[in-house]
Amino acid sequence: MNKKILIAATVLAAAAAAAGYGVHEKFFQKASDEIVLYGNVDIRQVSLAFEEVGRISELRAEEGDQVKKGQVLAVLDTRTLELEAEQASAQVRAGEQAHLSLRNGSRPQEIAQARAQYRAAQAEAERASLDLKRAEALWNTPQGHAVSRQSYDQAVSAERVARQNELQAKEALQLKVIGPRVEDIRESEASLEASKANLAVLRHRIELGTLRAPQNAVVRSRLLEKGDMASASSPVFTLALTDPKWVRAYLSEKDLGRVKPGDPAEITTDSNPGEKVPGRVGFISSVAEFTPKNVQTEELRTSLVYEVRILFDDPDSKLRLGQPATVRLHPAAGAASGATAGGV
Evaluate if residue 303 carries a pLDDT over 80. Answer: no
Task: Provide the residue type at 205 as one letter.
Answer: R
Q: How many helices (H) and strands (E) does the chain have?
A: 7, 13
| Whole-angstrom distance, CA of residue 110 vs CA of residue 177 | 9
User: What integer is the mean pLDDT of 74-91?
Assistant: 96
Evaluate if residue 211 carries a pLDDT over 80. Answer: yes
The CATH architecture that domain 46-76+209-237 belongs to is Beta Barrel (2.40)
Share of the chain above pLDDT 70, in %: 83
Residues listed for the chain: 344
Q: Where is mean pLDDT largest: 53-62, 131-140, 245-254, 264-273?
A: 53-62
| Whole-angstrom distance, CA of residue 102 vs CA of residue 239 | 54
User: What integer is the mean pLDDT of 111-118?
Assistant: 85
Confidence category of residue 30, pLDDT binned at 50, 70, 90: very low
Other CB atoms within 10 Å distance of the CB of residue 53: 12
Q: Is the CA virtual torsion 184, 189, 192, 194 positive or negative?
A: negative
User: What integer is the mean pLDDT of 38-63?
Assistant: 93
Given this model, what pLDDT does residue 298 score? 52
Given this model, what pLDDT does residue 231 score? 93
Confidence category of residue 111, pLDDT binned at 50, 70, 90: confident
Q: Where is mean pLDDT largest: 32-41, 92-101, 138-147?
A: 92-101
| Whole-angstrom distance, CA of residue 147 vs CA of residue 164 | 25
Given this model, what pLDDT does residue 195 score? 94
pLDDT averaged over every residue in the chain: 81
Radius of gyration of the chain (CA): 47
Task: Provide the residue type at 60 as one letter.
Answer: R
| Whole-angstrom distance, CA of residue 210 vs CA of residue 144 | 94
Burial class of residue 251 (count of CB atoms within 10 Å of its CB; 0-12, 13-18, 19+): buried
The span from the first CA to the last CA of the chain, in angstroms, equals: 66
Q: Is the pTM of this model over 0.85?
A: no
> For the stretch 147-170, what's the b/e string if a residue is b when 16 or more beta carbons lie within 10 angstroms of its beta carbon?
beeeebeebbebbeebbebbeebb
Write down the domain spans for the chain: 46-76+209-237, 84-204
Main-chain dihedrals φ then ψ at residue 13, nearest 5 degrees: -65, -40
Evaluate if residue 150 carries a pLDDT over 70. Answer: yes
Given this model, what pLDDT does residue 13 score? 45
Evaluate if residue 2 carries a pLDDT over 70. Answer: no
DSSP-derived 3-state class of residue 116: helix
Beta-carbon-side half-sphere exposure of residue 105 (alpha carbons within 13 Å): 10
Which pLDDT tens digit goes with each residue over 264-289?
A: 999 999 888 888 899 999 888 888 88
